[in-house]
Amino acid sequence: MRLVEQHSIAKHDPRYAAIDAAAFAAKNLYNQATYQIRQAYIHEGKYLPYAELFHRLKHLECYQALPRKVSNSILIQIDKTWKAFREGLTEWYAHPEKFRGKPKIPGYKHKEHGRYLLIYDTQAVGLLICWLKRESERSVSGKTRSGNKQSRWARRTTSSLFRCLMPVLLRCCNTRERSWALR
């Protein structure tokens, strides 16, 4: 049994914008990871395992836009999706009568309207609190690790994420996994 707590947040809720921005960042990571796997699958005929996908993406901005645990959980979900596709394809070649059609390759989320699931496990919640504090301190100073000025959007998103998610996270500290769904 897995303990899961799900929060549905309506559009009129003040936390919606912050979580929507995080879900949008999750979509960007999903699309980038899907692109990497599809290119390897189509052009090289091989499947990229999770470890190789992680090493290809860990330096990209889309991976670093979210806390690392959350980004890893997205990559794990993509890995499971592609494994299911490959197993379905193998089964389809062996017994096509079990299927209505050939399994389709996993696609991308919509560029502007797409969102992806955010999963914060117990460790990610603790790391999220630290990450949000660090980002809010950075947004006050306006500096990033490399010393460059942060974009106004990044400062605003980080501080609004910190303000909006802290009450929810502090209330939900004892469940193992959290996911936010936007209505």
CA distance 99 to 47: 23
What global pTM score does this model have? 0.67
Residue range 73-90: mean pLDDT, rounded: 93
Residue range 78-84: mean pLDDT, rounded: 94
Residue 134: how many other CB atoms lie within 10 Å: 13
CA distance 118 to 137: 24
Tell me the three state secondary structure of residue 121: strand
Residue for token pair 């599809």: 38
Question: In this predicted structure, what is the pLDDT of residue 165?
Answer: 59
Q: Among the listed ranges 4-8, 84-88, 165-169, which one has the minimum average pLDDT value? A: 165-169
